[in-house]
Structure 1
């Protein structure tokens, strides 16, 4: 992994970490459903422009069901659940709970494909549970009304990402860019019927408008492009490093821009959860660096 790829990886983590900040700012004002509908539409429109210049086709007749599955479980549903939780929970807490997604994905894949759960994976799962328990058990903000419903929503969002990962494991091969582009359109369409069930209101505050635009274009559309570029440049395993960096930026942005407190339980819980993720996924930064070829140094 060269310096350029490392910087791009940090930028991607910063963008995805920023998504929790923007949801925390905008969701309580305009409502979670309309926020995510706008996020998906803005990302879809941005990727449509990119697809036009790159001359990339979605091949909807062949892959519309695939896009629908990804659009719901990898975009619309988890985005909506996180935005709902963002009305109550801090950006820091959201970003850390979201980091449990690889744990859910690995567990679901093991169950679906009848893969044995090794001792290492079991320890990782236990570490993830302990990390979440430590994180939540000492958070003073969780005494607020509805906080545990918000926590459940955030964990369900991570579980939804796990379902998407499990589905993608057995799905046919579709170009990564088409996956991103098609799933954004599918997610925006699938979310439309739910809009009447969530209270929403408009806002002309620059802070809210800016948060919506940045969330849709920067943290979703551009972030997806950057992610798939990294996969092409350094491989999927190396790109997985972003999972470990997103909570760091989520906590940092929440502290810098929203004055969220960083307690000992926040740091400890996050580290234990990420340790569990590393065990469950078999991820090792040292192995990735050892496997790099001389031309990538």
Structure 2
């Protein structure tokens, strides 16, 4: 990966890490479906003028079927599932569930794209996930049916992301990232539209919740997905999915800076493991080749 691609990976992680804070603020008031519908509608509408300005709007009808699938698998379903998980689970636990995306991604890429695993990739993924666990720490949470359901929905969201990434690479290769981002968000809004009458919020949202929705839509969705689809095209779906290991790091960082949460030793140690695991999985380090044995 080039320095620019690495910088884009970290920026993407910072934007998606902030999404956990936004969802934690807005989901209890709006509910998962209305929150995510607001997110994708605002995101799609904010990207639409830029799409029209660049003369790319005609490509959306051309690829509408693939964009509809991406909108469902990469936005509507995982966004809603994670928002539902955030109602019952601590933000750190939700971040761990999101951190399983590269594991699902490696499995999907191995089965679907026939990508070889390799010792370095397996070692990096295991090390990175270990860092996620150390970073967040073990939580004393009672195991109830609601907790089990929240864990299941979080893992299903990770699986959706892992399936969507190679689908994008195979079916939308060469399509500008702005087209994919705009089309997928508008498609996600269409997918969630039939659920709105059955999931109305019990009260009007507060100003902090509305600001969280705007931040979630513009920063953690519009800008983030332009970067994400660009990375899928430039570095591949498996490497782009490794951003999931960096997301908990930034989620904890934003919590410390903005919510005055304590910075612990486990955060520092876990962050180091995450960075090292991500570097190894993406072959940022060049290990010396083993010399061939003499006959």
Q: Same fold (TM over 0.5)?
A: yes
**Which is further off, 242-251 or 71-80?**
242-251
| Structure 2 match to 1:295 | none
| Structure 2 match to 1:57 | 57
| Structure 2 match to 1:183 | 184
Q: Report the Cα offset of residue 201 of structure 1.
A: 3.2
CA distance in 2, matches of 1:118, 1:5: 22
Q: Mark the CA change 1:274 to 1:63 in structure 2 (over 3 Å): closer, same or farther.
A: same
TM-score norm. by structure 1 comes to 0.78
CA RMSD between the two structures: 3.5
Q: Mark the CA change 1:61 to 1:227 in structure 2 (over 3 Å): closer, same or farther.
A: closer
**Which is further off, 150-159 or 223-232?**
223-232
Aligned residues: 281
Q: Mark the CA change 1:156 to 1:262 in structure 2 (over 3 Å): closer, same or farther.
A: farther
SS of aligned partner of 1:50: helix
Trace 1:267-282 onto structure 2 (pairs within 5 A): 282=281
Q: Mark the CA change 1:96 to 1:271 in structure 2 (over 3 Å): closer, same or farther.
A: farther
Q: Mark the CA change 1:212 to 1:108 in structure 2 (over 3 Å): closer, same or farther.
A: same
1:20 aligns with 2:4: no
CA distance in 2, matches of 1:177, 1:266: 35
CA distance in 1, matches of 2:116, 2:285: 25
TM-score norm. by structure 2 comes to 0.78
Q: Mark the CA change 1:153 to 1:268 in structure 2 (over 3 Å): closer, same or farther.
A: farther
| Structure 1 match to 2:37 | 37
Q: Report the Cα offset of residue 76 of structure 1.
A: 0.7
Deviations 1:62-93 (A, max 9, x none): 31110011101111111001111111223333
| Structure 2 match to 1:195 | 196
**Which is further off, 245-254 or 119-128?**
119-128
Q: Report the Cα offset of residue 111 of structure 1.
A: 1.4
Q: Mark the CA change 1:60 to 1:230 in structure 2 (over 3 Å): closer, same or farther.
A: closer
CA distance in 2, matches of 1:167, 1:86: 27
CA distance in 2, matches of 1:272, 1:156: 25
SS of aligned partner of 1:138: coil
Q: Report the Cα offset of residue 35 of structure 1.
A: 0.1
Q: Report the Cα offset of residue 256 of structure 1.
A: 3.6
CA distance in 1, matches of 2:92, 2:128: 17
1:247 aligns with 2:251: no
**Which is further off, 80-89 or 244-253?**
244-253
SS of aligned partner of 1:87: helix
**Which is further off, 179-188 or 191-200?**
191-200
Q: Mark the CA change 1:149 to 1:268 in structure 2 (over 3 Å): closer, same or farther.
A: farther
Q: Which runs of 5+ in 1 are unaligned?
A: 288-297
